[in-house]
Structure 1
Amino acid sequence: MTPLSAVLEAPFTNMREEIWAFPLSRFFNFLPYFEYAFVDPIVNDEKLNFDSVALLPKVKAPLLVLHSEDDPIIPYHIGKRLYESAKQLQPAKVANKTTFHGFPPGKEYNHDWICQAPDLPHVVAQFITSVLN
């Protein structure tokens, strides 16, 4: 059974991009063997690579992508890129209902607190309404 829809909070495109964007990686990513010793083993392991973009053509449900502009763990542009990929790769009737909602910086939602956004219930309700129509 295909779900009616899915909500993704602060998603990323793939593990390679996220590793390079992760704040702690800047302490090591300048090392000449960083990609070979750390990134490649994770990305080349099917159980660890988390390639969300590669899976998008199989997603038959509209997505609501939520992302805070001040997310220090998964940068906003990565979540936005996943949304843009979904719009291109999902089946057309599904992609037309896939939605992105960004939360402005300064609200301190960061990576973990979008759930505290006062407008979140409205955003989700509006998405569900669009999916049902």
Structure 2
Amino acid sequence: MLYCHGNSNSRAAEHRIQLYKFFQQMDFHTIAFDYRGYGDSTKIRPTENGVVEDSLVVYEWLRTTVDKGDRKPPIFVWGHSLGEAISSHLLGNLKELSTSVLERSTPLPLPNGLILEAPFNNLPDEVAKHPLSKLVTWLPYYESTFVAPFRSDRGQRFMSDAHLSRAPALPVLILHAKDDVIVPFVVGLKLYRSVLESRSEGGATIKLHAYDKSENLGHKWICHAKDLSDVIGDFVQCHQ
């Protein structure tokens, strides 16, 4: 399980450690890393292309490591919050990134599946739906001032819906809590519907597993969901 974490702190944040413990209980080997500018990685300003390149390098290392022997274990990628946008960009453009960034003659193969926890369809919509936006949506210049810059800035758009539409052969599982106030459920639902529509004429499965507000899982604690082992176990079993 290659884990791409969200925007805050580092790979050692408490909720991430709890998720690693879940992976351990599931008998998964876990690879976690920090993007540039995070944790103890190089202190330079992160950009979308930069953090995607970081994940690409780790993914190439992982594939090279596990593909050496006769038995090639399945690889799954798990992205949480911003990490889902990074992993979606990576896997939706893996062929092009393999040749342009890594200069490989043979593109890296896709993983067995992608698990997206608390995802958003694209950054402009996430900004528009963020709870803090409610404080300023009444302003006549709200769209042009607060949202439009994210639509026009090619360096920070994180268009997961567009990226995943380019990878119809990649199985995707979306996990989202309906009481998530950081990345509202509505943008995760938009992502699911967009990818589902892009596969209307065929492609790998995409599933959405939603958690009710009564479970109090919020943005960070789906790792404590009572049925998570069954949900993840079924997805992995079907695609390994």
| TM-score scaled by length of structure 2 | 0.51
Matched, 1:89 2:224: no
- What's the CA shift for 1:47? 1.7
Corresponding letter in the other structure for 1:101: H
61, 65, 68: which one aligns with 2:177: 68
> Which of residues 80, 89, 97 is equivalent to 2:189?
80
- Partner residue, 2:117: 9
- 2: CA distance, partners of 1:42 / 1:16: 5
- Give yes or no for contact 1:8–1:64 (8 Å, CA) kept in 2: yes
CA RMSD of aligned residues (A): 1.5
Which stretches in structure 1 are left out of the alignment for 5+ residues? none
**Number of corresponding residues:** 130
* Residue in structure 2 matching 1:44, options 136, 148, 152: 152
1:99 aligns with 207
Task: Give 1:127 deviation, angstroms.
Answer: 0.9
Counterpart amino acid of residue 48 in structure 1: Q
Structure 2 spans left out of the alignment, 5+ residues: 1-108
SS of match in other structure, 2:156: coil
Tell me, in whole angstroms, the C-alpha distance in 1 between the residues paired with 2:219 and 2:194. 21
Q: TM-score, normalised by structure 1?
A: 0.88
Q: State the SS of the aligned residue for 1:92.
A: coil
Q: Residue type of the partner of 2:187?
A: I
> 2 CA distance for matches of 1:7 and 1:32?
38
CA displacement at 1:16 relative to structure 2: 2.2
Give the number of the structure with larger relative contact order, counting CA–CA contacts within 8 Å between residues 6 or more apart: 1
The SS at the match of 1:17 is helix
For 2:213 and 2:137, the matched residues in 1 are separated by 27
Tell me how far 1:77 sits from its aligned partner. 2.4
Match of 1:113 in 2: 221
Structure-1 separation of matches of 2:186 and 2:141: 26
Question: Could you tell me how far apart the structure 1 residues matched to 2:206 and 2:237 are?
Answer: 12
Q: Max radius of gyration: which structure?
A: 2
